[in-house]
Amino acid sequence: MANHESPAAKRTSQDALQLGPRKKPYAFYFYNLIDKIPTLYRRSTDPLVHHGRHFGRTIHALCNVHALINNGIIRMGERSEEPEDAFTPQERREHLVFLALLKSVPGLEERLMNTESEEEIHNLAALLQKGASSARSDDTKSLKSAIVDWLTPPGEPLIPPIARNNKTGRGYHHEVTGALLCPTGVDWSDMDVKHRLAAGELTVPGDQWPVFLYPSNEYDDSDPWKGLLRRVFSSKITFTFKHIFTSPSSVEKETKATRSGNARIHGMTAVTRASLAYTATQARFALTSSSVFNRSDLITDSERFYNSVLELLEDPEESEEVDSLLTWWNRQVFPNYVANSRPVSKNSVLAKIRAKRAATKQAALANSNSNGAGA
């Protein structure tokens, strides 16, 4: 990065994998700099905004992008010589997200390395943050009405009806949404439980997951992984994922989309752990009575919910179950995934080419060993 030492010396590490202050401090700083940002940066079509949308949906939805970049530059610069065990688990996790960001945004690393000041870095981060925030807002808005259709039984009315553009009658105030949001291990059929949940007397933290994450809303306390995030094809979560990533009309059996979905636009061919956590978070929020997605909303506690789901999916100790889950999801939403994952047929041209290459390498290795022994 140009003039790297001076800006780096002023940097201090901060927690990146949370949203940070609400809009006022961030917006005040950003919009007071707007006249200093080059014209390209100010355009809503700036590539960084575009890539920021996909980053938020598939890598990390609720992080502070400026802190993430700031900490990443520190790690790659003044702390580059430190051993891996010098970093906390949180710092290592942050750095993996930072590296994923660099990989997902063409040219970002070069732009960061060629910036002349902290102000320019902040501007780049602001554009990425704008993309992630606007994508989340767009998805929240569109799902508010779409999920009503998915809740309504085919050919029957939803009783009582749920307004498409007003969320006050959802959450624990409605029999259908309340049953879906009811925490695992809690009996929704208990009238006292219903009353306490609706009245807010029984608070539900974000890491106490709703029963709709399980098939037929059935949670097995003796096997918490059983069915988790796997539902029949008509599931609310699968619908939500397809609505966000492959186009709203792809929720139907016969796709009628006239525009490419977000997955195709960004070259996404497989489900990511973060995209599953994001989808579950959006589905959960759409069912609640809260009207605005707010990290400080302790009623929905959406940020804690998102992070708790993502923490499980990224846990190396759970890799076997997670890999199986991702395979299941890929087969549901990416039709070409199974075909691309099948083993090569024994008699195919590709198999024969690979066999010949392997035989050539083996012969070369044997010849090298023979010559070595003779010497």
Q: How confident is the model at residue 46 (pLDDT cuts 50, 70, 90)?
A: confident
Contacts of 320-327 with CB under 8 Å at 24 or more apart are 321/225, 322/273, 325/228, 325/229, 325/230, 325/276, 326/270, 326/271, 326/273, 326/276
The pair of structure tokens assigned to 35 is: 């006249």
pLDDT value for 133: 95
Q: Give the least confident one: 14-18, 80-84, 188-192, 332-336.
A: 14-18
Q: What is the mean pLDDT of residues 3-22?
A: 56
pLDDT value for 294: 79
pLDDT value for 27: 39
Q: Is the pLDDT of residue 166 over 60?
A: yes
Q: How confident is the model at residue 246 (pLDDT cuts 50, 70, 90)?
A: confident
275-328 pLDDT per residue, tens: 999 999 999 999 999 988 877 777 899 999 999 999 999 999 999 999 999 999
CA angle 361, 367, 372 (to 5 degrees): 125
214-235 pLDDT per residue, tens: 988 899 999 999 999 986 434 6
Rounded Cα distance between 33 and 329, Å, is 43
pLDDT value for 331: 86
Q: Do residues 40 and 46 lie in contact, with contact meaning Cβ atoms separated by under 8 Å?
A: yes
Q: Is the pLDDT of residue 250 over 70?
A: no
Q: Do residues 237 and 213 lie in contact, with contact meaning Cβ atoms separated by under 8 Å?
A: yes
Q: Give the least confident one: 30-34, 103-107, 159-163, 216-220.
A: 30-34
- As a whole-number percent, the residues of the chain with pLDDT over 70 amount to 79
Q: Is the pLDDT of residue 126 over 80?
A: yes
Rounded Cα distance between 78 and 87, Å, is 13
Q: Is the pLDDT of residue 54 over 50?
A: yes
pTM for the complete prediction? 0.79
Q: Provide the 3-class DSSP secondary structure of residue 349.
A: helix
Rounded Cα distance between 180 and 166, Å, is 18
Please give the mean pLDDT across all residues of the chain. Answer: 82
Q: Do residues 177 and 287 lie in contact, with contact meaning Cβ atoms separated by under 8 Å?
A: yes
Rounded Cα distance between 280 and 312, Å, is 13
